[in-house]
Amino acid sequence: MTDACEFTPPADACALPGAAVAAANDIDPAHAGRTWQGPGAGARLGILRRATSIAIVGASNNPARASYFVGTYLLSSSPYDVYFVNPRADEILGQKAYASLADLPVVPDIVDVFRKHDDLPGVAREAVEVGAKALWLQLGSWNEEAAAIAEEAGLSVVMDRCVKIEHARFHGGLHLAGFDTGVISSKRQVVSR
Amino acid sequence: MSEHKFGFRTRALHAGGTPDATTGARAVPIYQSTSFIFDDAKDAANLFALQKYGNIYSRIGNPTVAAFEERIASLEGGIGAVATASGMSAEYITFSALVGSGDHIVASSQLYGGTVTLLDVTLRRMGIETTFVPSDAPEDFRKAIRPNTKVVYAEVISNPGGEVSDLEGLSKVAHDAGVPLVVDSTLASPYLLRPIEHGADIVIHSATKFIGGHGTTLGGVVVEAGTFDWGNGNFPTMTEPVKSYGNIRWWDNFGEYGFLTKLRSEQLRDIGPSLSAQSAFTLLQGVETLPQRMDGHVANARVVAEWLASDPRISYVTWAGLDGHPHFERAQKYFPLGPGSVFAFGARPSGEFATDEERLVAARATGEKLIESLQLASHLANVGDARTLVLHPATTTHQQLSPEQLTAAGVPADLIRISVGLEDPEDIIWDLDQALVAATGESR
């Protein structure tokens, strides 16, 4: 994390490492029309920067599933300790799979959720109980009840965003694939690994 | 601290071009390498399966090309871009991603000739039918929609007629039918118009023109807005499992990033018209001055168009920035900075003619003489160069057509296309004036 302050948008990335809630005016324009406002790019980068571990809840062993993509990406292209949670699997991507968040050997910083809509408030409660710092609902997942549970307990919340895409946005992967990262900076960039 | 929104000129210089992570190079380096090493077998497998991002082979992606792609995506306000070897290959990979045998396209009839033959000959031969709509009214496009229509296609400013498309109307027609509005925005460049802001879903450029801007380099680019619902049932190739990539589904796995991921991973892989690193570098140099050049092009176009319009030797001028143009109002709305610098004009042949036939023959000869008499303007088949360019279709690209056929093709015998460059405007006008004297025998 030596380069943590070196690229745009730094926003709050280097300030208040414990800040759980995004600055009120750093909101996600992709969700502008919704009642719940998600964190903007700077705040999302801050959540990723402060984390060292990610638990993927609803991880899958099926290579065609989005959770498998995210797991492969995080293991190969990020510095995070990655934990898989799926009570019906023993092993995912060569790693032990855990039955629940409470079974993990660590308190995960980010709980990244791939579960059906109605399960999300329950996962949010579990994330609060284990003391996670952020609840992250994947692309296509939007549950304001789950968000309220997590925010009330002081967790940062991201919904309808992909951890892989957001990490890749700030660490070169998305750029190499021709996508607009929004990063404008005259500082040397951090390569993913 | 809120996110700062960087302006167009800043992004034209910086977007996609952060200093090199390894060397710190400030300019975007030219990565002249076909291939990129894998860390190990697992890394290779993950890259090939699209499980992680990275460089594999320059037909699919290249770091210099990626800088160009991100810069154009940023300027257009799109989610991303895929660059290609030319504007035509950008169109071809887009159509090949969207349509297959038995599908249908609704397109404006006011298109660049190469696009017309792509749709009307090459794609038709592959079982894809196109209806050309000879009108600028969105309702006429709506009437041409069929159950198997997959695309509505138009140019934002037509070449060479200077007609301005009703983007918002066309967008509504396309979206009501559950299909994307695809537009070619070559003559506008992202500085003068960003079609995505007006409802377009996919924007295509021949980067050869204003984006590169110096007549040195061929290139094309496809930008997607990232807002179209590819899961609406009309695009099974976006939602069905893809065998060659482990049964992933573009829409389910990649969401808003799905279409461009498919375009790169399938169409560039299978068809192969990739932009070279060297070309991406020269195009990037062009993009850096796009705002300043377009301001200059439009200012000169206005001076030249107004001068031509006030000249008795000239029969018409098709620049939509003139208040006599049928799309003047529309151009004011979509092009507040001016509708580009490519348009057409006609030189009136001297003398009296007993028949239309005689007049058309004389008009063709006058156009030919005018083109040959120009000293500064270059006679060639391109637009969007920093230099002023001219073309007389009736004696070049359309020379095999009879006067009647020319009229049917919407190319009057006297039509001269001009792409106004960045020279001193008085020199461009001096050149046109002396050539008009030579061609018509009349002084202004």
Which pLDDT score is estimated for B356? 84
Which pLDDT score is estimated for A131? 97
ipTM of the complex model = 0.89
Which pLDDT score is estimated for B360? 85
Q: What is the pLDDT of residues A100-116, one digit of tens each?
A: 999 999 999 999 999 99
Q: What is the pTM of this model?
A: 0.89
A96 forms beta bridges with: A91
Interface contacts (A, B; CB < 8 Å): 143
Cα A125 from Cα A128, distance rounded (Å): 5
Nearest CA in chain A to B222: A178
Nearest CA in chain B to A189: B21
Task: Choose among B19, B83, B246: nearest Cβ to A188.
Answer: B19
Which site among B6, B20, B43, B53 would you substitute to test the A interface, given the most A Cβ atoms closer than 10 Å to its Cβ?
B53
In B21-40, the residues whose Cβ lies within 8 Å of chain A are 21-22, 24, 26
Asked if B61 is an interface residue toward chain A (Cβ–Cβ < 8 A), one would say yes
Write down the domain spans for chain A.
Answer: 42-176
B390 forms beta bridges with: B379, B418
Q: Name the pLDDT band for B99 (thresholds 50, 70, 90).
A: very high
Q: Is the pLDDT of residue A50 over 80?
A: yes
Q: Count of alpha carbons within 13 Å of A79, Cβ hemisphere only? A: 12
Q: What is the pLDDT of residues A139-159, one digit of tens each?
A: 889 999 999 999 999 999 999
Asked if B6 is an interface residue toward chain A (Cβ–Cβ < 8 A), one would say yes
Nearest CA in chain B to A70: B51
Classify domain B289-440 by CATH architecture: Alpha-Beta Complex (3.90)
Q: Name the pLDDT band for B4 (thresholds 50, 70, 90).
A: confident
Task: Choose among A11, A180, A184: nearest Cβ to B73.
Answer: A180
* Chain B residues whose beta carbon lies within 8 Å of the beta carbon of residue A181: 16, 70
Name the CA radius of gyration of chain B, rounded.
23
Which pLDDT score is estimated for A24? 47
Which pLDDT score is estimated for A169? 82
* Chain A residues whose beta carbon lies within 8 Å of the beta carbon of residue B50: 69
Task: Choose among B19, B65, B257: nearest Cβ to A179.
Answer: B257
Q: Name the pLDDT band for B438 (thresholds 50, 70, 90).
A: very high
* Chain A residues whose beta carbon lies within 8 Å of the beta carbon of residue B196: none
Mean pLDDT computed over every residue of chain A: 83
Q: Is the pLDDT of residue B1 over 50?
A: no
Q: Is the pLDDT of residue A174 over 80?
A: yes
Which pLDDT score is estimated for A6? 31
Which pLDDT score is estimated for B129? 98
Nearest CA in chain A to B224: A179
Are A153 and B48 in contact by the 8 Å Cβ rule? The answer is no
Amino acid at A161: R
Which of B150, B226, B261, B284 minimizes the C-alpha distance to A176? B261
* Chain B residues whose beta carbon lies within 8 Å of the beta carbon of residue A176: 53-55, 61, 63, 66
Task: Chain B: give the shortest CA distance to residue A164, in Å.
Answer: 9
Task: Please report, in angstroms and rounded to a whole number, the separation of the first and last CA atoms in chain A.
Answer: 11
The tokens for B411 are 């190319």
Q: Residue B137: how many CB atoms within 10 A of its CB?
A: 13
Q: Name the pLDDT band for B409 (thresholds 50, 70, 90).
A: low
Which spans in chain A are helix H? Answer: 41-50, 66-77, 120-130, 144-152, 163-170, 173-176
In B225-244, the residues whose Cβ lies within 8 Å of chain A are 241
CA dihedral B390, B392, B398, B399 (to 10 degrees): -130
Q: Name the pLDDT band for A37 (thresholds 50, 70, 90).
A: confident
Q: Do B79 and A180 touch (CB under 8 A)?
A: yes
Instruction: Decide which of B229 and B161 is more confident.
Output: B229
Are B36 and B30 in contact by the 8 Å Cβ rule? The answer is no
Write down the domain spans for chain B.
Answer: 8-286, 289-440
Identify whether B312 is preceded by a cis peptide bond (ω within 30 of 0).
no
DSSP A67: H
* Mean pLDDT, residues B401-415 taken together: 75
Q: Name the pLDDT band for B393 (thresholds 50, 70, 90).
A: confident
The DSSP line for B298-330 is HHHHHHHHHHHHT-TTEEEE--TTSTTSTTHHH
Which pLDDT score is estimated for A22? 37
Which pLDDT score is estimated for A18? 31
CA distances B65 to B32, B82, B282, B290, B396, Å, are 10, 9, 11, 18, 34
Phi and psi of B354, rounded to 5°?
Answer: -75, -35
* Mean pLDDT, residues B166-185 taken together: 98
Are B439 and B366 in contact by the 8 Å Cβ rule? The answer is yes
DSSP B78: -
Q: Is the pLDDT of residue B383 over 80?
A: yes
B316 forms beta bridges with: B346
| Topology (CATH level 3) of domain A42-176 | Rossmann fold (3.40.50)
CATH code of the domain occupying B8-286:
3.40.640.10
Task: Choose among A64, A162, A183: nearest Cβ to B247.
Answer: A64
Q: What is the pLDDT of residues B127-146, one digit of tens each?
A: 999 999 998 999 999 999 99
Task: Chain A: give the shortest CA distance to residue B56, in Å.
Answer: 11
Task: Chain B: give the shortest CA distance to residue A138, in Å.
Answer: 11
Q: Which residues contact B273 (CB under 8 A, 6 or more apart)?
A: B84, B85, B86, B89, B92, B93, B220
Q: Do B14 and A11 touch (CB under 8 A)?
A: no
Which pLDDT score is estimated for B408? 66
Nearest CA in chain B to A176: B66
Strands B378-379 and B389-391: parallel
Mean pLDDT computed over every residue of chain B: 94
* Mean pLDDT, residues B65-91 taken together: 97
- CB-based burial label for A142 (10 Å; 0-12, 13-18, 19+): middle
* Chain centre distance of CA A17: 16
Q: Name the pLDDT band for A38 (thresholds 50, 70, 90).
A: confident
Q: Do B80 and A184 touch (CB under 8 A)?
A: no
* Chain B residues whose beta carbon lies within 8 Å of the beta carbon of residue A177: 53, 61, 66, 80, 257, 260-261, 264
Task: Choose among A64, A168, A180: nearest Cβ to B74.
Answer: A180
Which pLDDT score is estimated for B51? 83
Q: Name the pLDDT band for A45 (thresholds 50, 70, 90).
A: confident
Nearest CA in chain A to B81: A178
* Chain B residues whose beta carbon lies within 8 Å of the beta carbon of residue A8: 4
Which pLDDT score is estimated for A63? 86
In B248-267, the residues whose Cβ lies within 8 Å of chain A are 248-249, 252-253, 255, 257, 260-261, 264
Which of B396, B376, B434, B411 minimizes the C-alpha distance to B159? B411
* Chain B residues whose beta carbon lies within 8 Å of the beta carbon of residue A73: 51-53
* Mean pLDDT, residues B101-112 taken together: 94
Which pLDDT score is estimated for A173? 87
